[in-house]
Each structure stands twice: as C-alpha cells, then as structure tokens.
A and B are shown apart, each in its own frame.
Chain A
Amino acid sequence: MYNLIIFLPLIGAVLSWILGNRFSSIPTYIVSISCLFLSMIISWIAFYDIAILKNNFEGASLPWINSGEFRALWEFNFDTLSCVMFLVVNTVSAMVHLYSVGYMSHDKSKARFMAYLSFFTFAMLMLVSSNNLLQLFFGWEGVGVASYLLIGFWYNKKSATSAAVKAFLVNRVGDLGFILGLIFVYTYFDTIMFERIFELAPSMMDVSIIVFDNKFNVIELSCFLLFIGAMGKSAQLFLHTWLPDAMEGPTPVSALIHAATMVTAGVFMVCKLSPLFEYAPNVLTFITLIGALTALFASTIALTQFDIKRVIAYSTCSQLGYMFFAVGLSAYPAAMFHLTTHAFFKALLFLGAGSVIHGLSNEQDMRKMGGCFKKLPVTYILIWIGSLALAGIPFFAGYYSKDMILEVAFASDSQIGYFAFICGCLAAVLTAFYSWRLIYLTFHGDFKGNKSTYDKIHESPLVMLLPLFILAFGAVFSGWFFKEMFIGVNWDYFWSNSIFILTGNDAIYKAHSVPKWVKLLPIVLAIIGISIATVFYVLIPDLPSRVSKAFRVLYTLFYNKWYFDEIYNYLFVKPIKKFSVFCWNIIDKKIIDGMGPNGISSKVFSLSKISSKIHTGYVYHYSFSMFIGLALLTLILLYNLQVK
C-alpha cells in the first residue's frame, strides 16, 4: 500500500492534465488535491508504522536496465530516512497544492500548473525512495525538469524563461558531477545498489587509483563527484546562481521546490549515502567548508536585496549551508532535523510572501510596500511566526534545529568545526537582521507605492490561509515534536540503519554537553540581529542609507550578489557563444567544407578551365603546337645521335 505514496501524485498529474484539457478547472483541482492529500495521509501512516514502530515494508521492484553485469532496478525503499522525507515532501506539497487554488485563480492554465506540481512531487518521491544511485538520478533529473517547467511557467516573460534555462543548465553542471560519481562508484564497487555499496565501503577505504600521476582515494573521489551534484541541486556556493533567479516562477513553486523540498535533495543524498561519505574525511571537510561559506555568503546578499522573494531565496541558500556543514561534521540527524523544520517555516515564509504579493497585485519590490499590517493582519502574524522560527527564537521550530547545528559545530572540536561555528554565528545575526528588515519594510512604516494599489490590498482567501495555518502549526511545533526522535538521546534507534556515523566522528554525541554559553549564544545572536533591524528600520529610519554610504564598497558587493553572474557571464557564457560561432563559420564552413567537397569541386572546376583553354578551335593554334612538338622530337633525336 505504501507504494501508493509515490504513484498517487503521478496519477494526479496525468489525470489533472487530461481533465484540464477537457473540462473546467474544478475537476482538476479535485483530482490533484485529493491524490496529494491521500498520499500525505498514507505517508503519515507510513511514518508512524515504519519510522516509529519499526515495522518493515518491502517496496515494489522491477528490472530497469540489464546490460551484462550492470543491473539497475526500479525499486522503492522504505526506511526511516525516506519516511521522514515522504512526510516532509507530501505535507508541504499538499499544502502548496491547496494554496495554489487561491493563488493561481486568475491564471489561464491552472491544469498545467497543478499537473507540473504533482509531477514534481512524484519525481521528488522517486528520488527519496530510491534504492540505487541510478533511480536516485532519475528523481534528481526529474525534479530538475519540473523545476525548469515551473520556473518558466509564465513563458511569455523573458526573464522567467531565461531563469528556467539557467536553473536547468547550472543544475546540469552538478548533474554531470553526479553521473560521473555514479559511474565511478560502479567501476570500483561493481554495483549501484546502496546496500552493496555500503557493505563494501569499509573494505574499499584504502583503495586508491592513479590519475594523471596523482593518487586519489576511490571513496574520496566518488564522494567528491557526487557532492558536486549536491552543490548544484542545493544551490551551494559557486553553483548557487540559479536559485535567486528561480524566483521568477509562481510563488507556490518557490515555496515547494526552491525552499522546502527540491533544494534539500542534496542534503538528503549525502545523508542517504552517509555510510559512504563517512569514509571520505577530506570530502566531509570540504562539505563543511562549502556549507559554512554558503551560510555566511548568502546571508550577506540577503541583507541588501529589495525583492521580497529574493531575500527569502538567499535565506534558503544560507540555511542549506547550515545543513551542509552539519552534514560535513557527520551530524546527519541534525541536518535532517533542520531540513524538516526548515521545510515548514520556509514554506510558510514563502507562502506568506506570496500572500503579500497576491494582496498587492503582484508587487514584489519591498521599496513599494510598507504599512501593510493593517490590511493583511493574518499574513502579518504568519510571517512573524515564520521569521521567529527562522531566526531561532526559543520554542519555535528553527530554535531546536539551528541550535543543535551550532552546538555540533562547536563540539566537533576541530579547526573546520570552529570555522563553521563562527560562520554560523555571524549568519545567525544576519538572518535575524534581514528577516526583521523584511517585516519592517513590508508591514511597517508608510505605504510607498501607489495610493490606488493601497486601496486594493486585500487579505487572501481562506483557501490560501488554511495551508498557511497548517504550516505555521508546523513552524511552531515541529521542532518540539521531532526533537526527541531526531536528535534525542535515542537518535540512533530512530534512524536505525538509514544513517551511519563512523565511531570517532562523535560531534553529535558531544553536542549535548557543550558549555552553557554556546547553548545560549544563538538566542542572544538572534536578539541582537532583531534589535539592530529595529534600530535601523524603525527607530532611526535614515540609518540604512547612511550605513550603506559609509560602507559603499561592501554594500555594492553585496547588492550585486558578489558579481557572480557577471563573472560567470564573462568566463563561460560569452566564450561559449563566441566559440560556437567560430566553430561553425571558420572550422565547419571554411576548413572542412573548403578543403573537402567544395575544395575538390572547385579544384576540378579550375583544372578543367585550364585544360579547356588549350582547345581553342583555331587551325593555326593546332598546327603551331604540332610544329613545336615536331621540333622537340627532332631535337631529342639529334641529341641522342650525338651521344652515340
């Protein structure tokens, strides 16, 4: 029965597509939403049954590729890790489906939207339930395509389609890493099945290969390649540029794909493969480094952005950084915990922002907002809840998970751990700051847009608010509810064999016994951040512009997103365009064709022209040439005679 969790969304996608082409939008909504809710309910049952009661369930399995000794199966795996993901994905997805009914009510192609959303959910579930690397890659690319389709959903907007293409291409760079990692694993492990890989991992620890005179450890190299894939999907530093642009898509999409689920696939993948990554200490250090840098880097950009969705997007990027450095310090349960709570409060924030945008007739620029809290009281409260959870204020969901991650970083007692701790603490201040900057700019002060827009501002309908309430419930209570299970004393019983931590990588154990000040620090940092934001945007309103002038260089750097887009444009986009034109015009047309068929034919042509010149048709020409020939022959004869 649990197999239905995965296939119900697919059925919903196909049916709503077909129905949407034939009938009005009502049956589409009924079908897709009921499929999703059913799937959500089953995944809650599965969570209770498998993750809590520890019952076993064998998923369906079918052959996929048989080629010689290479075998891949369609196979579904139901362990604690995948059940947690089922729960997160399906709950958020069901809420987003419901929310979309209201949000997309003015759009023409509702059926297409619902079908894409359901298809995305299916692909994501395929990803998290896979039992081998290749099926994981199927889901991995499937969510990529769904994301591409949904970012470019409003295909008449040029910025939307270019953002869609950008997202797909940047992800493909990561995917190349992933598929090479997969092949690499297959070459040395002779299997792509997780179980076999994990069994073999300890014995492969010291195997290394020599590539271009450098010695590489097999596990290190394969984990590194796989992590490149995770960097692309989870928008980590260097491959993050697509995520902010992805905000061109409709807001429910941003909530579901670019906040709660798809972007966390990288974190999930590393957790899933923890029995492999544990034997790659250098890669783990690298992951920590990238995660810590991303957490700090993305939050610096979020400080200066004015698009309400981009602020939240960079915040997502930064939170993913937190998850990754937790992973890198072998605190997989902590990462999964933050993934779960983050899914709730970030989806809440995005959908709340969507409610603002919906209420303000698609305005996203915070400079044109302000003072909306009277008109959008419910949304206002919900965004407060989301921000409190994000900033890590006690008893909200984010508090438990972020606290845990920082404690782990401190407790790991290594250089990289302290580095991550410092980055994480700084990012925590910035997180609180930009969250309250967002609240103050949007809801407080005077309205800075058109008067006519202000009059039209309206609170969202119930169908949009209801999912927000449920997510807010999650944002408040999920931390408290899952804490004991995920990272409590008995965490290894809960995760059973779905997460593996090598003895010695014990940061997660030590995290419970860190000094008191470390435990308190996140709260203090959050309050500092909120206070600064209050000073900046409520008490002394002209301070932000003065500060930005004082630190002009830093501000422009942050505002322009550290110029990553420009650098990539200069390094990759332009050369590729130039090179392709060069290949086409010079090599293909001039060299190959010029020397090949065209060259031959023109040579033949010119040779025949020369030879045709001899045939003039005048008798005296011919007789003259005959005379010359005769004279030559006679000369030769005479010469020969003389020699004799």
Chain B
Amino acid sequence: MIENWPILSILIFLPIFGALLILLIPSKIDQEGKILKNSITNIKLVSLWTSIMTFLMTLLLSLKFNYTEKQYQFLEFYEWVPSLGIVYRVGLDGLSLPFILLTAFLVPICILCSWNTIQHKIKEFMISFLILEAFIIGMFSALDIVVFYIFFEAVLIPMFLIIGIWGGVERIYASFKFFLYTLLGSVLMLIAIIYIIDTTGTSDLIQVLDYDFSKTEQLLLFLGFFFSFAVKVPMWPFHTWLPDAHVQAPTAGSIILAGILLKMGGYGFLRFSLPLFPDASLFYQPYIFFLSCVAIVYTSFVAFAQQDIKKLIAYSSVAHMGFVTIGIFCFNTQGLDGAVFQMVSHGIISGALFLAIGVIYERTHTRDINKLGDFATTMPKYSVFLMFFTLGSVGLPGTSGFIGEVLVLIGSWKVNPLVAIISGLSLILGAIYMLRFYRKISFGISENQDKYEIHDVNIREFMILIPLVMFIILFGIFPNIVLNFLKVPHFLVLETFK
C-alpha cells in the first residue's frame, strides 16, 4: 500500500507542515518585550524534530532506492497547466538523491547551530529555514522545467530573508548584490524556458529530453541557462556576490549557502544543460575550462589575501567549485563522478568550516584573522576539529575532499592535460591559504584574547561537529557510498554524447 503513496511530495511538504505548526505556537510577549521562554523552546524543538524526520525520511528513500534502475523512481505526476503543457512531475534518480540527502543532513545541523545564536524573531527564522528546506528538496526532485524554475527561484526568497534580517551590519548591500547577480541569470533562464515550451509544447523534462534542438537553438538556449547556473556555482567572474553574502549571513545561512545553494548550479548543468544541449556543451567546453581554471588559480590567490576568515572560506569555495565545473564538462565518467562527489564533499567540508567559524565568532565576535589566535591552547578540542576540516579542504587523501579532486584531475587529463595541470596547482595554492588560516587561528598569539571568555566546545557543538568529521572521513575511505548512486545517471548522461 505504501508504494502508492506520494512519498516524495510528502517529503517536500513535510518541512512546510512543520513551519505551519510553528506558526500555530503562541508567541506571547512578556513585559520586557521578549517571547516566553517556553514557546521559544517549543519553536526550536518543533523545527528540530521536523528536520530530523525529514532526514529520516530521505534515509528511508535511499534505502528503498534501486541503484540499477534506469528510470526515475518515486515518480509523481499531476496535470497542472495543460494548455501550456506544464505538469507537476517529481521523481528521483541517482543524481538528485545525494543532494537531497545532503540537504536533509545539513538542515538539522543548521537548526542546532542557531540554537542560541539567533536571539530575535526566532519563530520567523525557523519558519524561513524550514520553508527553505522544502524548496530545496522540491528543486532537486522536480522533473518539469517550470516546476524546477519555480523552486529554483523560490529558494532565494527565504535566503534573502535570512541574510537580510538575521545578517550582519552590511546585510542590505550583500543581499542587493546577491539579488542583482541572480536576477541577470533568472531573466535569461525564463526566456529560454519560454522558448522551450513554445517549440516543444511541453515543459515536462522527460518529453523535452526526446526533442532534438538544432545547433543554433542549443547554443542560445545553453547560454540562457548558463548564466543562471554560473552565478549559483559561482563561476569566475560571477563570484563576487558570494563573499559578501557569506560574510553577512548568519552561520546557519552560510552553511546552507555553501553547502546547498552553490550546488544548485552544478546540479542544473548536469540535469539540464548537458542532456538537453549536448552539442552546445561540447562547443562551450573550452570556455568553461578557461573560466574554471581562472577560478581555481585566481580565487586561491584572492583567498590568501583575505583578512576576514569567512571571506577566505568563501573564496576557497569558488576555487573548489571550479573543480566541479571542470569535471562536469569533461564528459567522461571520472569527471562527472568527481564533480558530483566534489559537490557533496564540499557541501560537508565548507559547511563544517563555516560552522567552525561560527563557533569562534560566538565567543570572540570577530572574524579578523589577525585578531584571532592560540585556539590550540584555549580550545584544544575545537582546534582538532578545525584541523580535520582544514585537511579536508586541502584535499588530503583519506578525507572526502581528495576523492573529488583526484577524479576530476583524472577526468580532465583525458580531455586536456593542461587543464589538469593548472587545476592541480590548487594542491599547492589551497594548502597555502588554508594552512595560513589554520596557523593564524590555532597557533600564534591572539591580541584580544583576555577580553573574551573562551571556553572549549560544549556538548551541543560537539554533537554537531562529530557527524561532520565522521562523514568527511567515511566518504574519504569509502567513497563508493556516493559513487554507487551516480553510476546509472552518469551513464545515461554520457549516452547523449555518443
């Protein structure tokens, strides 16, 4: 019986249901103008449990998932706008499931890490977070271009709110910049989608996939999608919104931004650009390689110059995502596997790094690399965690960061050895800025250490950091857990290139 349930839609709307529940919790205000402690706890618990239930459900889905099946699984289909051929079609394949798992894994962590840091409007914060989760899961499971587009854009709304309301001092500038970049992409993508509906008569991905676009159409449509995805990845030179957004966003926002939102671009390339426009993808390959190589080398240098540690990690994200775009446009198994693995791994590692930065920001209220220091003495446990994340970020073998990089290097060498050599430089450049980061923070002497009371990680933080470390190592030692999902979808993508 349970097979016939719309299990995927339930998963998508479960967080929204939780958000509705939170809305019902009375938020009485006492004389001091604060919400009652009791209801704050309720709000937190409801959101935590909702996100945990969502995570458990995704785990259930992945247990029921059939690795060898070539069709989409857990498919659901409803007519929506028949006159335009728009349908509500959701379903999963091995490409979307890892991302959904990653999302559902990171959201409880985000909620836990904002447990005490978000002081005002906690109710609204939790609601926007759960809605954000729902939209993201919806986006990763949408199989209709219009449905995808709606979710893709809708994700930005709660993200704007999270940066704009709970962000730092210059949050308005950051969200404005974020908005300008994404607007550029969205408009072009919408035009491309309208054109697709106009020519094919439907926006159902499964049907559109059967349609062969002419070379010119492909070249133009590819560009339409490209800007939107390139801004999200972000590719050089569309990356400057990212550091500002990260710096201003609260910790949880940064985790989702780096962990999930950046992956929307890579996912979009794999889901739409490659299968729909194979000729155009081949045509644009050298340009994308060029931009990615610039991203890897250039942003590594920029990261080295940063004083703000959040900006440093943000720039390192751009460099790491450069590997993703290189991998995707290699058009071979290792490249694609490496790209997706790199996305998953980067989601965990950069999420972990932002979390770690949040932990010290809570204690010292500064992110200036020159004002921090000596955490190896004051917070020994913390500096061990940070060491793991740093090593993961520099791609040490045995951590998940290595697998993605080495697969992409292998994949790109087959296509163009020069690309592999240039991107391989990040082995050195990445180590340069990450070791500077770790050395300044954990070693050395801090200037204003006495001003703040610094205590080591508490139980709550420990419980959030431990699973992150475990997954970084687990995926580094047994990457096949993720790679098994990708076999069939990548095989199918590569079929279109033969």
Contacts and interface: CB of A to CB of B under 8 A. Distances in A.
A226 to B, nearest CB: 14
Interface stretch (A96-104, A169-177, A404-412, A439-447): A169-177
Interface in B381-434: 387, 391, 396-398, 403, 406-407, 409-410, 413-414, 417, 420-421, 424-425, 427-428, 431-432
A155 B483 contact: no
B301 A172 contact: no
B435 A584 contact: no
A66 B435 contact: no
Contacts of A581: 305
Interface in B440-484: 442-445, 477-480, 483-484
Interface in A49-82: 63-70, 74
B298 A587 contact: yes
A580 B304 contact: yes
A67 B376 contact: no
Nearest to B301: A580
B377 interface: yes
B180 interface: yes
B187 interface: no
B305 A67 contact: no
A490 interface: no
Interface stretch (A234-242, A456-464, A591-599): A591-599
26 contacts: A64-B477, A67-B334, A68-B332, A68-B334, A69-B333, A137-B397, A141-B397, A142-B398, A149-B387, A156-B443, A158-B444, A162-B439, A169-B435, A172-B427, A176-B427, A180-B424, A183-B420, A187-B410, A187-B413, A583-B302, A584-B302, A588-B240, A592-B237, A597-B180, A597-B181, A597-B240
B338 interface: yes
Contacts of A187: 410, 413-414
B443 A180 contact: no
Interface string A173-192: 10110011001101100000
A65 B403 contact: yes
A175 B428 CA distance: 9
A601 B414 CA distance: 43
Contact of B480 (A63, A162, A588, A597): A63
Contacts of A142: 396-398
B306 interface: yes
A168 B435 contact: yes
A67 B338 contact: yes
A180 B302 contact: no
B177 interface: yes
B330 to A, nearest CB: 11
B241 interface: yes
B436 interface: yes
A145 interface: yes
A626 interface: no
A576 B435 contact: no
Contacts of B445: 156
A65 B479 contact: yes
B124 interface: no
B76 interface: no
B443 A155 contact: yes
A134 interface: yes
Nearest to B377: A156
Per CB-CB distance, the 7 closest pairs between chain A and chain B, nearest first, are: A68-B333, A580-B301, A138-B397, A584-B305, A580-B305, A155-B443, A67-B337
Contacts of A165: 435-436, 439
Contacts of A145: 391, 396
B431 A583 contact: no
Given A140-B397, A149-B387, 11 more contacts: A63-B480, A67-B333, A68-B337, A162-B439, A165-B436, A180-B409, A184-B413, A187-B410, A588-B240, A597-B180, A601-B176
Interface string A577-609: 101110111011000110011001100000000
Given A142-B398, A583-B305, A597-B241, A175 B427 contact: yes
A597 B178 CA distance: 9
Interface string A134-157: 100110111001000100100110
Contacts of A587: 298
Interface in B192-212: none
Nearest to B243: A588
A70 B410 CA distance: 9
A211 interface: yes
A211 B303 CA distance: 32
B413 A183 contact: yes
Interface string B256-298: 0000000000000000000000000000000000000000001
Q: Dominant SS at the A interface?
A: helix
A584 B306 contact: yes
A164 B443 CA distance: 11
Contacts of B398: 138, 141-142
B465 to A, nearest CB: 15
Nearest to B421: A180
A161 interface: yes
Interface string B167-187: 000000000110011000000
A458 B426 CA distance: 49
Contacts of B435: 165, 168-169
Contacts of A172: 427-428, 431
A580 B316 CA distance: 13
Contact of A65 (B413, B443, B483): B483
A169 B428 contact: yes
Interface in A548-579: 576-577, 579
B411 to A, nearest CB: 9
Interface in A18-50: none
Contacts of B338: 67
B185 to A, nearest CB: 13
B172 to A, nearest CB: 12
Nearest to A171: B431
Contacts of B407: 65, 67, 70
Contacts of B480: 63-66
Given A67-B407, A68-B337, A601 B180 contact: yes
Nearest to B406: A179
Contacts of A593: 240
A57 B57 CA distance: 45
A592 B237 CA distance: 7
Contacts of B396: 141-142, 145
A211 B418 CA distance: 10
A152 B443 contact: yes
B431 A168 contact: yes
Q: Which of A137, A152, A580 has the most CB of B within 10 A?
A: A580
Nearest to B486: A67
A571 B30 CA distance: 65
Contacts of B176: 597, 601
B67 to A, nearest CB: 12
Interface in A214-228: none
B302 A183 contact: no
A583 B478 CA distance: 38
Q: Which of A164, A597, A600 has the most CB of B within 10 A?
A: A597
A576 B436 CA distance: 13
A171 to B, nearest CB: 9
B334 to A, nearest CB: 5
Contacts of A592: 237, 240
Contact of A66 (B301, B377, B417, B483): B483
B304 A161 contact: no
Contacts of B428: 169, 172-173, 176
Nearest to B381: A21
Contact of A180 (B420, B432, B439): B420
Q: Which of A140, A155, A169 has the most CB of B within 10 A?
A: A155
Contacts of B483: 65-67
A70 B442 contact: no
Nearest to A74: B477
A179 B409 contact: yes
Q: Which of A169, A172, A584, A585 has the most CB of B within 10 A?
A: A584
Given A66-B483, A584-B302, A587-B298, A169 B240 contact: no
